[in-house]
Amino acid sequence: MARDYYGTLGVAKDATQDEIKRAYRKLARELHPDVNKEDGAQERFREVTSVYEVLSDPKKRQVVDLGGDPLESGGGGAGGGGQDPFAGFGGLGDIMDAFFGGGGGAAGGGRGGQRSRVQQGSDALLRMELTLEDCASGVSRDITVDTAVMCDTCDGGGSRAGTAPSTCDTCGGRGEVQSVQRSFLGQVMTSRPCPECRGFGEVITDPCQQCGGDGRVRARRTITVKIPAGVGDGMRVRLSGEGEVGPGGGPSGDLFVEVDELPHERFVRDGADLHCHVEVPMTAAAMGTVVTLDTLDGKEELTVEPGTQPGAEQVLSGQGLPKLRSNGRVSGHGDLHVHLDVQVPTNLDEHQTELLRQLAAARGEEQPEPTVSASGNGHRGGFFSRFRSGHR
């Protein structure tokens, strides 16, 4: 079932182009995201803008009057009969225009190359620095953005109050000009956007003094950004409709906030997992001890078993970061990997050296035989070797 184009704008089917334009501008002022923050207002604004773009084009309006829907894929012919082979082009006249530059145009036409002055706005991007703690818990911050907003003097129309754009004299309102060139195939007609009106088909002869006819102005505004828990470096948070307002007061683009995660003094991040190093004296590693570790969730006691070897690793389950899924929800937490660095004493005094000699004698290690193995606990390459070499 085709959508009710005229009902969406609140005009009659025999409404003039001026009546359609006035109805659209009235709705645009009420529904524009800059002034209406109610749920559904943005989608309603996009809908009336799409409907206006159809009804302001005589060829597309003709399709609507015949029972079709230009916004549906494939078009749709009148009466709901068989497939129209020319539906996607709006009729045979558009096919001739596409291949030969257009001559007379379809019935009710004459504006085949005209494009709407109301256009979609551009997206905007800004970066936000976050600490590891911010990424773990999520934050809500107020940010200041400098973007284009709809001109409140002309309501996006671009013309001075009480005036309206006039039909372009150069292209006669079509938005394009045609030229004939000779080639070995004969005369070839080509079309290009009108240089006078830039393809709009109309010219703003008395522009708004505030926006200069663009329908939008630059403004600085403050918005609140909610960063979910579990984000990471390079991730982007999308704020729908908070980007640039389009020319002619068109729908706003989106604002993307990109996360710039700062390095942490204790932890290295690997996805949702965290890694850290803890230095343990040789004597403590040999006899066992308990180490108090500062985690993102507070202090945690870590038991070092007697006989712990250099390079040993302990995993604290669930002590990492939240696992953020693609749908924005958190599904569990990562782990905290604690790498134990056993510290061998240096610069021993005579008494300490003598004590170690006695220990070696008691263990029969005065002249130890070296053991060579590919699987020993020496200087093994692993996760942190990548970060020592400059990997972040």
Q: What is the pLDDT of residues 57-67, one digit of tens each?
A: 888 888 888 77
Residue 216 tokens, joined: 């939008």
Answer whether residue 119 shows pLDDT above 90: no
* Predicted local distance difference test score (pLDDT) of residue 186: 66
Answer whether residue 4 shows pLDDT above 70: yes
Per-residue pLDDT, averaged over 142-153, amounts to 91
pLDDT band at 371 (very low <50, low <70, confident <90, very high): low
Answer whether residue 174 shows pLDDT above 80: yes
Fold of 5-100: Helix Hairpins (1.10.287)
Higher pLDDT, 350 or 79: 350
Encode 41-71: b = buried (16+ Cβ within 10 Å), e = exposed. bbeebbbbbbbbbbbbbbbbbbbbeeebbbb
135 is in an annotated binding site: no
CATH architecture of 268-388: Sandwich (2.60)
211 is in an annotated binding site: yes
Domain-wise residue ranges, the chain: 5-100, 124-165+204-261, 268-388
* Predicted local distance difference test score (pLDDT) of residue 92: 38
Residue 129 tokens, joined: 């620095």
* Predicted local distance difference test score (pLDDT) of residue 387: 44
The candidate with the shortest Cα–Cα distance to 121, out of 161, 100, 150, 153, is 150
pLDDT band at 44 (very low <50, low <70, confident <90, very high): confident
The answer to whether 124-165+204-261 and 268-388 have equal CATH topology is yes
Answer whether residue 77 shows pLDDT above 70: no
Per-residue pLDDT, averaged over 360-365, amounts to 85
Superfamily covering domain 124-165+204-261: Urease metallochaperone UreE, N-terminal domain (2.60.260.20)
Percent of the chain surpassing pLDDT 70:
81
* Predicted local distance difference test score (pLDDT) of residue 381: 46
Q: pLDDT of 318-328, one tens digit each?
A: 999 999 988 77
pLDDT band at 40 (very low <50, low <70, confident <90, very high): confident
Per-residue pLDDT, averaged over 75-86, amounts to 38
Q: pLDDT of 239-285, one tens digit each?
A: 998 999 988 888 889 999 999 999 999 999 999 999 999 999 999 99
* Whole-number Å distance between alpha carbons of 69 and 322: 47
Q: pLDDT of 220-236, one tens digit each?
A: 999 999 999 999 999 99
* Predicted local distance difference test score (pLDDT) of residue 304: 93
* Whole-number Å distance between alpha carbons of 345 and 368: 18
Higher pLDDT, 109 or 153: 153
276 is in an annotated binding site: no
Higher pLDDT, 34 or 355: 355
Higher pLDDT, 117 or 332: 332
* Predicted local distance difference test score (pLDDT) of residue 303: 93
Higher pLDDT, 386 or 48: 48
